[in-house]
Structure 1
Amino acid sequence: MEEHLYNAPKMSEPTSPAASVASADIAAEFAALTVEEQEQQRAEWSQELARVEEEIVTLRTVLASKTRHASDLKRKLGITVWKEITDDMNQGLKNVKESSVFQRTESVLKSTSEKTASVFGSITSGISSKFSQMKNSDSMRSIEEKVGSAYENVKTKVSTSRSGSVTSFPDALNENNSSGLNSPTNSTDK
């Protein structure tokens, strides 16, 4: 069985040049031993390997026991898996928010939004000023006056219609048009 362990492929090959040199040195030293010394060395290594594997099994058993005990204590304290995940997520978000990359990105986004707001503000104020200029223009005042007078005339006719001469709003509007007043739509024809 011992021979089977040593003839099996190695679990991990040396990855660094220093490890390759060390492996080569060990192989050279082992080859320099007599057959009896090689057998004795193999027996020592086999005993040490058995002890290490036994320690690994013991450590795994202890670790499993400690993990169960920690889970029991968490359950007794009311610490659930969901709470642990939530706490981990909150801590992660806090770490991200405190990072310099996040801080720089946040400041860039803030300045961009301020610039965008100022651009939209200037556009809105420009539109507002154009509307106020239009409202104060002579043609708009003329339209307002004509619409206002037509409305007042129709309102007067409707209120007098209650006394009997006109019976409906459309009749009053027609009577207003026939009396020679300009309607808002006809004012542009003249």
Structure 2
Amino acid sequence: MEDHNTANLTEPSSPAASVASAEIAAEFAALTVEEKEQRRAEWSQELARVEEEINTLRTVLASKTRHASDLKRKLGITVWKELTDDVNQGVKNIKESTVFQRTESVLKSTGEKTASVFGSITSGISSKLSQMKNSDSMRSIEASVGSAYENVKALSRVIRWRN
């Protein structure tokens, strides 16, 4: 059992804690059996006191929480209102942050530039389509399609007349 407790004393959580743990373990190992027992008894008593204080604080906190809830209920403050207020405050804090404002500025600028680029692309496409529509090739295609449409229409009349 003695080795198990000593092992727990040497579990490092960081390099500094590792050094401190090693020193504590070395000091503890240097104690006599009686001194180790006395130290463990002191720690057990202190642990019991601390746990009792924690339980007392939990009881007091629960009582205060109930009292605060009663007061909020009497004032008409609902959980939903508190949540809404918290969310609104969080959003306000974010919007007021310099990071958000810089990001918003960059996005706005990027959006304006993108709109400008798309506007010029759209304008260019419209101009090209207009040029194509007025070209001799397009007129020739329109004439061919129109002629084909008239031929199909005439053929359709002939087929109906025969039936």
**Residue deviations 1:153-181 (CA, integer Å, cap 9, x gap):** xxxxxxxxxxxxxxxxxxxxxxxxxxxxx
Counterpart for residue 27 of structure 1: 25
- Tell me: CA distance 1:110–1:102, structure 2 relative to 1, closer, same or farther (3 Å): same
**Structure 1 CA distance, aligned partners of 2:108 and 2:19?**
58
- Tell me: CA distance 1:9–1:67, structure 2 relative to 1, closer, same or farther (3 Å): farther
- Tell me: CA distance 1:116–1:10, structure 2 relative to 1, closer, same or farther (3 Å): same
Does the Cα contact within 8 Å between 2:12 and 2:18 map onto a contact in 1? Answer: yes
Does the Cα contact within 8 Å between 2:10 and 2:25 map onto a contact in 1? Answer: no
TM-score (norm 1): 0.52
Which stretches of structure 1, 4 residues or longer, exceed 2 Å deviation after superposition?
A: 6-14, 99-117
- Tell me: CA distance 1:30–1:13, structure 2 relative to 1, closer, same or farther (3 Å): closer
Counterpart for residue 87 of structure 1: 85
TM-score (norm 2): 0.59
Alignment of 1:1-190 (within 5 A): 7=5, 10=8, 13-108=11-106, 110-111=108-109, 112-113=111-112, 116=115, 119=119
- CA RMSD for the aligned pairs? 3.4
**Aligned partner letter, 1:17:** P
**Aligned partner letter, 1:89:** V
Q: Which runs of 5+ in 2 are unaligned?
A: 131-163
- Tell me: CA distance 1:108–1:26, structure 2 relative to 1, closer, same or farther (3 Å): closer
User: Structure 1 residue 12: deviation in Å?
Assistant: 10
Identity of aligned residues (%): 75
**Structure 2 CA distance, aligned partners of 1:57 and 1:11?**
26
Q: Which structure: greater helix fraction?
A: 2
**Structure 1 CA distance, aligned partners of 2:71 and 2:103?**
42
Query: SS at the partner of 2:77?
Result: coil
**Residue deviations 1:32-60 (CA, integer Å, cap 9, x gap):** 11111111111111111111111111111
Does the Cα contact within 8 Å between 2:6 and 2:25 map onto a contact in 1? Answer: no
**Structure 1 CA distance, aligned partners of 2:68 and 2:11?**
37
**Residue deviations 1:124-149 (CA, integer Å, cap 9, x gap):** xx99xx9xxxxxxxxxxxxxxxxxxx
**Structure 1 CA distance, aligned partners of 2:24 and 2:10?**
16
Deviates more, 1:48-57 or 1:9-18: 9-18
Q: Which runs of 5+ in 1 are unaligned?
A: 131-190
